Amino acid sequence: MSFWWSAHKNASGARCRPRALDDLHYHPSLSARLKSLAASGDFPHTYALLRTIRHWEEDTVTCTLRQLFGPGVEKVKIDQCVFLSPLKRKIEVNIVQSNFHIEITPSEAGNYDRVMIQELLKEIAQTQQVDLNAKQRFKVVIINEADSLSRDAQAALRRTMETDMSNMRIILCANSTSWLIAPIKSRCLLLRVAAPSDTEMQTVLTRVARRTCFDLPPEAAQEIIKDSGGNLRKAILVLEALKMQSPDLSGPLTIAKPDWETYCQKVAVLVVTKQTPARVMEIRTKFYELLSHCIPPTVILKAGLTVAEGIVSQVDKTLKAEIMHWAALYLCAEVRMRIGSKKIYHLETWVVKVMSLYKQSFYQFDISKFE
């Protein structure tokens, strides 16, 4: 069974991952742009901004590298790097590198990402490319999750980006630019990578199906696209899973949800059905269960919000206005969670607040006097 799985994965997941810029099937204008940049040999610092679809931008970056340096970049090795923090604590991080590029995820180093950026970039910036056959004189540094870089680490990037440009180019990948400081933004070229549209996803899915020699009924494709929400990797994986379940992909399709998602939904149902202190206690245990399985609290909140909304709007159309309130509460909780340290407090505040709001509007009962 497992063999089949991996074989199949190869068939649709890996084989269809694009390897050259020409193979990228969406955003043709962006591909053309990158190709011309790579060809000119004068590649700027870049930051790619993208949403929800990590995989796509990864592919864009690898394809760009391939265009820049040739097939050599595909020979990668994973190294472990050790840094000393200012207090002589050892920090170990994994880096992926080839002869021409190096890929780091500074958020691995936690609070010490500044040290990592300083040490690593200095080291790279001060060494010249030794391979004389290399197409480019510089090395490319890919910084993943740049939007979780601390302010200090970003400041550490600033001058290095200018002074050592001859030896190194930096590609920052981020989901949002809000957290990046203005001096960094003013030194980079921005590439906006939009999520693929529904039709583009349809094309890709059909192409994957054709490569693996079966036909994908359009209804099934639509169903999968709706479920994936713009995430192409998820769509392809779901397609694989479905293909395993029912080889001809006909009849009603049930797309399996991850179990934590169903668990979150259960919690949301609990919130809406009954609002008592006992229920809050019950939910607390559930939250702990989720948190101890490393589900990020923002994800829990988000899942809870959508599910609760769904239930409420089914029950009562007039409660629509309340939903806006809920979202606002969610936002409060989310922002506080980022700054605070103990996640469970904020999760519970949200639950209790939502419960009280719900009760208020349901029984037309104004408790604002008691506050």
What are the residues binding another protein (CB under 8 A)? 32-33, 36-37, 39-42, 44, 49-52, 86, 117-118, 121-122, 128, 132, 137, 147-148, 151-152, 155-160, 162, 165-166, 175-179, 182-183, 185-190, 192-195, 197, 230, 298, 302, 320, 323-324, 327-328, 330-331, 334-335, 338-339
What are φ and ψ of residue 367, in 5° steps? Answer: -100, 10
Minimum separation from the CB atom of position 50 to another protein (A) = 6
Alpha carbons 267 and 351: distance in angstroms, whole number: 10
Residue with tokens 């929400």: 229
Alpha carbons 45 and 158: distance in angstroms, whole number: 11
Minimum separation from the CB atom of position 106 to another protein (A) = 14
Q: Which is nearer to another protein, 137 or 211 (CB)?
A: 137
Q: Which is nearer to another protein, 261 or 334 (CB)?
A: 334
Q: Which is nearer to another protein, 20 or 241 (CB)?
A: 20
Coil, strand or helix: which one is 345? helix
Minimum separation from the CB atom of position 60 to another protein (A) = 12
Other C-beta atoms within 10 Å of 297: how many?
Answer: 19
The two three-digit tokens of residue 184, written as one number? 């960094």
How far out from the chain centre does Cα 274 lie? 34
Other C-beta atoms within 10 Å of 147: how many?
Answer: 17
Alpha carbons 311 and 326: distance in angstroms, whole number: 13
Pairing of strands 168-174, 46-50: parallel
Minimum separation from the CB atom of position 187 to another protein (A) = 6
> Which residues pair with residue 104 across a beta bridge?
143
Q: Which is nearer to another protein, 179 or 263 (CB)?
A: 179
Q: Which is nearer to another protein, 14 or 130 (CB)?
A: 130
Q: How many CA atoms lie within 13 A of 336 on its CB side?
A: 16
Minimum separation from the CB atom of position 148 to another protein (A) = 8
Quick check: 320 and 313 in contact, CB under 8 A? Answer: yes
Q: Which is nearer to another protein, 162 or 215 (CB)?
A: 162
Minimum separation from the CB atom of position 90 to another protein (A) = 17
What are φ and ψ of residue 177, in 5° steps? Answer: -100, 0
Q: Which is nearer to another protein, 111 or 254 (CB)?
A: 111
Minimum separation from the CB atom of position 175 to another protein (A) = 8
